[in-house]
Structure formats: structure tokens, C-alpha cells
């Protein structure tokens, strides 16, 4: 088992902050940076050091964890002569846990390898609650030896599965997000059908649980839809980013995914109507708009 001495965490937002806390609670030395300094400084009470820059967080760290908002943002911080990779110690491991395009992950892996740095793309599913509870599903792409080196990192964060070479983690995450997005749309339609038909949608949801239509989406997001509780655990704008990425990849592969294309359009409209900062379960608001209702 490899020993991890210092972990640099770059990005301490909705997901990064609770993940950094769990790593510190597990006994790792954690040094964190966020572009909004107050977010990183708020973690000092948990024994997490504040770094002055992303490069400072990465210097001399055994592992650098990146949890930023998009592929372009990751590339801007990681790549180049003065990027994070250039400041990492040879033999260290870069773990990008952001959801980014597959080709972006593969490009970062090549840049890391050229610098003598290990690379894993390790996107997660489970939202803020999963990050807080340490129950994230972690999908990992990269070399076997690099995964073995970084494996202790993942234990406090959730359940890690090594799915293949660099980029495979992002492919798994796109598959995950496709299922999540399409199921959110289906659950929203089903609840609206019950409501418009004159049934109590809450009781219909109760009746469905335990049968073949049951799912985490029906349990968790179905309840959110019924209660109009859209405080973001996973913001709709991030879901939209992922559905767009999945659709772009499908187009590149000449793969027709008609259901996913339609759902991507629904999320794009939801964001365009100003609901991008709401939870992705707020997709029901877009369906209400399409049916002539004014969302509450």
C-alpha cells in the first residue's frame, strides 16, 4: 500500500470542500486552493492549509486533486510552462475529478506523462451529499500502477472503480449523466401525467417505489419535484454541460441517441430560462412551461 503524505486540492466549491474535509479527517495533510480565497480559508478549522495559488497547492504534493468546473478551466490551470503540472514533483499523481470531455482528459494525461507525472481522470457521481458522506461513486481512468499509487486517496471519498485507460473515467461519467438526465426527465413527465390526470402525484410515487420503476431518481429527485425543493445538490447548468458533452461525443462517433438529444434540449432550455443554478431536478419546471403552466 502506497503512503500519501501531502494532498493538494485545487477547487473547494460545492464538491471540493467536503472532499477536502474528508481527506483531512482521514489523516492526510491537505493543502487547498480556490480562486475565491475565502472558500479555502474557511477550511482551516478542519486543519486544512490554505495555498496562495494553484501552483503552491501542487508543489511537493504526493497527489494533486482537481475539482474545477469545466475542461477549459482545468486546462487553463494545469497546462503550460507555468501550469500546475510544471510545478508538480516527478512521480507525483494528478487526479482530475472534474467532469470534462474525454479528449481533454487524454490530452492532460499526455502532458502529465511528458512531465513524469502520473494521471488519473476520476469523475464522481453522488452530488454534494455523497461528497459530505463519503459515498461518491468514483469512475477512474488511467494506468494500473498509477491507480495503485493513488488508491488510498479514494477510500475516504467513496467507492472507486478503475474502468480503463485515461479518458475511461470520463466515458463512464458521461454514461452516468446520460442515465441521470434521461431518468430525471422521465420521472418529471410521469409525475406530471399523474397530476394532470387527477391523481395525487405523491401517492403515485409511493406506489411505484419498490417496483420496476423505482430508482434513486424517483426516490430523491421525485420528492424534490413534489416539494419544489430545488436547492442545488447538482446544479442544472452542470448537468447541461454534461449532456452537451455527451451529445458532442455521440455526434463525433456518428452515434444516434434520440432520447438523449431531446433531454439535452430540455436542459438547455431550462438554463436559458434562468434556472441553471437550481438543482437538476428542476427540469420539471421546464416541462411545466411547455405545458402552459407557470412554475412556482
Candidate list 173, 203, 219, 237, residue with the active-site label: 173
C-alpha cell belonging to residue 2 = 502506497
Contacts (Cβ under 8 Å, ≥6 apart) of 156: 22, 23, 25, 26, 134
List the Cα angle 279/285/288 in 5-degree steps. 165
Angle (deg, nearest 10), helices 283-290 and 258-270: 90
C-alpha cell belonging to residue 117 = 507525472
User: Active-site residue 173, yes or no?
Assistant: yes
Which long-range contacts (C-beta less than 8 Å, at least 24 apart) are formed by 265-272?
266/185, 267/181, 267/236, 267/239, 267/240, 267/243, 268/240, 268/244, 270/236, 270/240, 271/236, 271/237, 271/240
Which of the residues are catalytic?
A: 173
Amino acid at each position: 500500500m502506497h503512503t500519501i503524505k501531502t494532498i493538494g486540492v485545487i477547487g473547494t466549491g460545492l464538491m471540493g470542500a467536503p472532499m477536502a474535509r474528508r481527506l483531512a479527517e482521514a489523516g492526510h495533510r491537505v493543502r487547498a486552493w480556490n480562486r475565491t480565497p475565502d472558500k479555502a480559508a474557511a477550511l482551516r478549522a478542519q486543519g486544512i492549509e490554505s495555498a496562495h495559488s494553484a501552483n503552491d497547492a501542487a508543489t511537493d504534493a504526493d497527489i494533486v486533486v482537481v475539482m474545477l468546473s469545466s475542461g477549459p478551466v482545468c486546462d487553463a490551470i494545469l497546462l503550460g510552462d507555468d501550469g500546475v503540472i510544471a510545478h508538480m514533483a516527478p512521480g507525483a499523481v494528478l487526479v482530475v475529478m472534474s467532469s470534462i470531455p474525454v479528449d481533454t482528459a487524454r490530452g492532460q494525461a499526455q502532458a502529465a506523462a511528458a512531465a513524469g507525472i502520473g494521471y488519473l481522470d476520476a469523475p464522481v457521481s453522488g452530488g454534494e451529499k455523497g461528497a459530505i458522506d463519503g459515498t461518491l461513486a468514483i469512475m477512474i481512468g488511467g494506468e494500473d500502477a498509477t491507480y495503485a499509487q493513488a488508491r488510498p486517496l479514494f477510500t475516504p471519498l467513496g467507492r472507486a472503480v478503475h474502468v480503463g485507460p485515461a479518458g475511461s473515467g470520463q466515458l463512464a461519467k458521461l454514461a452516468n449523466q446520460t442515465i441521470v438526465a434521461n431518468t430525471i426527465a422521465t420521472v418529471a413527465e410521469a409525475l406530471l401525467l399523474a397530476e394532470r390526470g387527477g391523481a395525487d402525484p405523491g401517492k403515485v410515487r409511493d406506489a411505484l417505489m419498490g417496483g420496476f420503476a423505482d430508482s434513486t431518481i424517483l426516490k430523491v429527485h421525485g420528492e424534490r419535484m413534489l416539494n419544489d425543493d430545488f436547492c442545488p445538490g447538482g446544479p442544472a447548468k452542470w448537468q447541461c454541460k454534461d449532456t452537451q458533452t455527451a451529445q458532442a461525443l455521440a455526434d463525433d462517433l456518428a452515434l444516434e441517441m434520440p432520447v438523449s438529444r431531446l433531454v439535452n434540449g430540455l436542459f438547455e432550455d431550462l438554463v436559458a430560462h434562468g434556472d441553471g443554478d437550481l438543482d437538476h431536478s428542476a427540469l420539471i419546471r421546464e416541462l411545466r412551461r411547455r405545458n402552459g403552466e407557470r412554475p412556482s
